Amino acid sequence: MADKTGARSIELVNRSGKVLAASSGSRNSIEPGRSPLARALNGALGTEHRVAPAENGMQQRLFSFAAPIFGDAGPPVGAVVVEVDIWQFEQNWPTSSAALFFSDAGGRVLVSNRSELILAERWSDEGFVAFDVVAPWTGQTIWRLDGGPYLPKNALYLEQELPIVGLTGVILANTAPANSTAVLQASVLAALSLVFATIAVLAAERRRTLSEKLEFEAAANVRLETRVKERTQALSEANVNLRREVMEREEAEAALRAAQAELVQAGKLTALGKMSAGISHELNQPLMAIRSFADNGVLLADKGNPGAARDNLLRISELARRMGRIIKNLRAFARQENEPIADVDLVQVVDEALEVCTGPVASGKVDLRWERPAMAVMVRGGEVRLQQVVVNLVSNAVEAMVGRPTRRLEIGLERMGEMVALSVRDTGPGIEEPERVFDPFYSTKQVGSEDGMGLGLSISYGLVQSFGGAIRGQNHPEGGAIFTVELNAAGPGENT
């Protein structure tokens, strides 16, 4: 246990003072009446501190205490006496920036973390000199020391009585950091005062400048208000003129829209005029057939052959339906459409346009190849306007192939993601200037001819653009021209 605790010696004694066990065999007994053993045998903790004779040129400072050992009842039966070498204790003392020491009743320092203070006495002539100074502003005691470089020159003196061990604990806190802090605080305060004084001077100067500025601004405001009144009057007059110009612009735009609508309608009527011979032929053939079947039906009925007469009547009915369908498509094509964009079956639009163009296609002996899908292909657009676009493209293709050895017209539909592409290809001479083909009044026909004014493709371009689509014209690598119309595919459940 002595090795573990660093004690100089540990002894176990009985009430008579006999040493029963010891960490060292220096003595066999201790006088029971000697302190601190006497106090321990009375049941209390006994302590003692002393300075032993010097060993190896160094005085030994020893601290002893005795603790009682009680039996089952009655007074202590013995005691444990422990003696500690204070020097050994000081070697394990944690480092502290403040000077610490413990002194006895006579003021002699027995324990300290500064070697200069060991066994020194206050106010002695042996190097440790202290003067008490009471700080009037705090009531604390300040020591002025002259004890070497490791002791502060001025230190705050704080003490604590330790009656159990018979010592007084003292700490000497260096006042230099506090003085430095006070000086720093005073410097900061002075600097702040200087800053505030400077700010006050600047504020006064700013107020004077601001006052002059306000006077200048007041005069400027008067001049500005005068100019604002003049400008307001000028703006009012300009506003009146602008409103008049806006009204004139709106009237001009309305007239332009009306002219465009009339131009589209004129294009339709022009197309119908060009197709009138073919349409007359398409209507005349069914009429002649109807007359022939009617005459045959009368003869068959007179001869008592009702079955053959019934067949003639069915043929007459089918021819009548065909004529009605042609007339219906012509009327739809000729009328002006003002309906909004909706879902339209592009397959039906192509069928109706081809029915309108049946005459020119037949009279031009054109080989029509229409790859008709089995199901409807829905796109976003206007039915009549889309029919006009297809009629224009088919009519132009038929006219381009007049006099050509091969006259073939190919029409196809293709779905491309969110778009549907309608292609119209002919075997004509192609397009001389593809980049100008959609310009208004651009035409490869002779000036003054009865075939048109070059507005059909321009009108078609505007109609497709109004549907949010695109139209392109180019020469096909194998000869002839091909026009492609791209339209937005109708989404599921999408309406106007």
Q: How confident is the model at residue 157 (pLDDT cuts 50, 70, 90)?
A: confident
Rounded average pLDDT over 245-260: 80
pLDDT in tens, 331-342: 655 555 556 788
Give me the pLDDT at residue 270, please: 61
Average pLDDT, the chain: 79
Give me the pLDDT at residue 103, please: 81
Tokens at 178, concatenated: 């506090």
Cβ atoms of residues 428 and 397 within 8 Å: yes
Mention every residue, 6+ apart, whose C-beta is less than 8 A from residue 260. Answer: 462
Q: Residue 93: pLDDT above 80? A: no
Q: Residue 275: pLDDT above 60? A: no
Report the sign of the C-alpha dihedral through residues 350, 352, 357, 361, in that order. Answer: positive
Cβ atoms of residues 440 and 410 within 8 Å: no
User: What does each C-alpha distance from 406 to 30, 397, 490 come to in angstroms?
Assistant: 145, 12, 37
Mention every residue, 6+ apart, whose C-beta is less than 8 A from residue 264. Answer: 336, 388, 459, 463
Rounded average pLDDT over 223-239: 88
CA distance 314 to 99: 133
Backbone Cα Rg of the chain: 62
Give me the pLDDT at residue 447, please: 39
Q: How confident is the model at residue 408 (pLDDT cuts 50, 70, 90)?
A: very high
pLDDT in tens, 35-80: 788 888 888 888 888 887 766 666 788 888 899 999 888 889 999 9
Rounded average pLDDT over 234-241: 88
Q: β-strand 408-416 against 367-370: which pairing, if any?
A: parallel
Give me the pLDDT at residue 496, please: 35
CA distance 329 to 359: 13
Q: Residue 452: pLDDT above 60? A: no
Q: Residue 202: pLDDT above 80? A: yes
Q: Between 373 and 172, whose confidence is greater?
A: 373
Phi, psi of 426, rounded to the nearest 5 degrees: -125, 175
Give me the pLDDT at residue 190, please: 86
Give me the pLDDT at residue 34, please: 73
Q: Between 259 and 401, whose confidence is greater?
A: 401
pLDDT in tens, 426-445: 999 988 888 888 876 666 55
Give me the pLDDT at residue 487, please: 94
> Crossing angle of helices 276-302/176-274, nearest 10°?
50
Q: Do 2-90 and 95-174 come out as alike in CATH topology? A: yes
Give me the pLDDT at residue 59, please: 74
Q: Between 474 and 447, whose confidence is greater?
A: 474
**What is the full DSSP assignment across 76-129?**
EEEEEEEEEEHHHHHHTPPP-SSEEEEE-TTSBEEEESSGGGTT-BTT-SSS-E
Give me the pLDDT at residue 56, please: 65
Helix (H) or strand (E) holding 393: helix 383-400
CATH architecture of the domain with residue range 337-496 = 2-Layer Sandwich (3.30)
Tokens at 168, concatenated: 């007084």
Q: Residue 260: pLDDT above 70? A: no
The percentage of the chain sitting over the pLDDT mark of 70, rounded to a whole number, equals 79
pLDDT in tens, 108-144: 887 888 777 777 765 444 445 565 555 555 567 777 7
Phi, psi of 345, rounded to the nearest 5 degrees: -80, 110
Q: Residue 495: pLDDT above 80? A: no
Rounded average pLDDT over 315-327: 69
Could you tell me which CATH number the domain at 95-174 has? 3.30.450.20
CA distance 248 to 262: 21
The percentage of the chain sitting over the pLDDT mark of 90, rounded to a whole number, equals 15
Rounded average pLDDT over 272-277: 55
Strands of the sheet with 154-162, listed across from one edge: 109-112, 99-103, 167-174, 154-162, 141-146, 129-134
Nearest in space to 431 (alpha carbons), one of 488, 483, 470: 483
Q: Residue 493: pLDDT above 60? A: no
Distance from CA of residue 78 to its chain's centroid?
Answer: 83
Domains of the chain, residue spans: 2-90, 95-174, 275-335, 337-496
**Opening angle at CA 257, ends 253 and 258, nearest 5:** 115
Give me the pLDDT at residue 480, please: 92
Rounded average pLDDT over 207-231: 88
Q: Residue 285: pLDDT above 70? A: no
Mean pLDDT comparison of 65-79, 267-281, 323-337, highest-scoring range: 65-79
Predicted TM-score (pTM) of this structure: 0.39
Give me the pLDDT at residue 426, please: 93
Q: Between 393 and 463, whose confidence is greater?
A: 393
Q: Which of 117-126, 354-363, 471-480 has the lowest mean pLDDT?
A: 117-126
Q: Which of 49-58, 165-174, 209-218 has the lowest mean pLDDT?
A: 49-58
Q: How confident is the model at residue 272 (pLDDT cuts 50, 70, 90)?
A: low
- For 2-90, which CATH superfamily applies? PAS domain (3.30.450.20)
Rounded average pLDDT over 187-202: 87
Q: Residue 467: pLDDT above 80? A: yes
Cβ atoms of residues 271 and 392 within 8 Å: yes
To the nearest 10°, report the CA torsion of 296, 301, 303, 304. Answer: 140
Q: Residue 365: pLDDT above 80? A: yes
Give me the pLDDT at residue 450, please: 42
